[in-house]
Amino acid sequence: MSTRDALGRRGFTLVELLVVIAVVAILAAILMPVFAKARERARQTQCLSNLKQIAAAWQMYAQDHDETACPAYYFTSGWRFEHAWDFTLDWGAGNTPKWYRGLLGPYIQSGAVHHCPSFSGEAWGRPFTGYAYNTTYIGGDVLAGGRPCSLAAIADPAGTVLFAEGGWGDPVSGCNYLRAPSDYQFPWGTAHFRHTGVANVAYADGHVKGSAFKYRHTDARPDVGALSQDDSAYDLR
């Protein structure tokens, strides 16, 4: 047998295979976080687009209703129907409520705009969950005697939160109504900083951006919190 034939049949040794496996494992450990961050950035970009469309729909609704903000929610027919900014629920339809398009539905082409691709928590019967509407100051909490505000009442539209990525608790569940820190329902209407510590926010002037400033969070609820220490990011002043 020639030396060339012997070399041609020579395979990898066990040591060489182990070295290759180790190198691949190291590269995977290095690259996987990079790929994960890139995927999350893409999802965050999609969320910003969603919020931009929702904010535009809110502005069109206000223009069609005498410059008055869309109600956050209200009930009709003996509490059977819950009409909200993003859905209408028929609670008399059995254990699982039937849902229909919400108050902003006529101004939005697809209901999927309401769904954040990075959120997979409990939705409590809501068809789409991921974003929450400033109920304390803008949409009005009817059960607490609140009413939707007029656009003229918003003194600083560029600094007033309109919608944000919402969620509460740990593990994080969905919420559709954003609450200011002074609101007694604030623990159930917090912002969710789901994009590697960032929450996407839409403001009353229509612009959207990510916010990494998280206030009033606790060790028991590390991923949710407020967008300001007080009500300044939410109120109309």
**Mean pLDDT of the chain, nearest integer:** 87
Res 84 pLDDT > 60 = yes
pLDDT score, position 42 = 73
Confidence of residue 127 (pLDDT cuts 50, 70, 90): confident
Average pLDDT over residues 179-186: 97
**Could you tell me which residue, 186 or 96, shows the higher pLDDT?**
186
Query: Does some domain include residue 215?
Result: yes
Which residues constitute the domain of residue 82? 3-225
pLDDT at residue 67, as a whole number: 97
pLDDT tens per residue across span 2-53:
555 544 556 668 777 777 787 777 766 675 665 556 566 777 788 999 999 9
Residue 143: inside a domain? yes
User: For 105-125, how does the pLDDT look when each residue is reduced to its tens digit (9 = 90+)?
Assistant: 999 877 778 788 888 888 777
Q: Is residue 234 part of a domain?
A: no
- How far, CA to CA in Å, does 38 sit from each of 6, 28, 49, 51? 47, 15, 17, 20
Domain count, the chain: 1
Burial 24-52 (b: 16+ CB within 10 A, else e): eeeeeeeeeeeeeeeebeebbebbbebbb
User: Rounded to two decimals, what is the model's pTM?
Assistant: 0.82
Q: Which of 142, 138, 163 is nearest to 151 (CA)?
A: 138
Please give the Cα distance from 114 to 122 (Å, whole number). 15
Longest distance between any two alpha carbons in the chain, whole Å: 96
- Which tens digit of pLDDT belongs to each residue from 213-225? 999 999 999 999 9
- Answer whether residue 235 is part of any domain: no
- Does residue 81 surpass a pLDDT of 60? yes
Q: Is the pLDDT of residue 235 over 60?
A: yes
Smallest CA-to-CA distance from 232 within 180, 179, 192 is with 180
Q: Would you state the pLDDT for residue 224?
A: 97
Question: Is residue 233 a part of any domain in this protein?
Answer: no
Q: In angstroms, rounded to a whole number, what is the distance separating the alpha carbons of residues 33 and 129?
A: 27
Q: Is residue 138 part of a domain?
A: yes
pLDDT number for residue 116: 85
Instruction: State residue 233's pLDDT score.
Output: 97
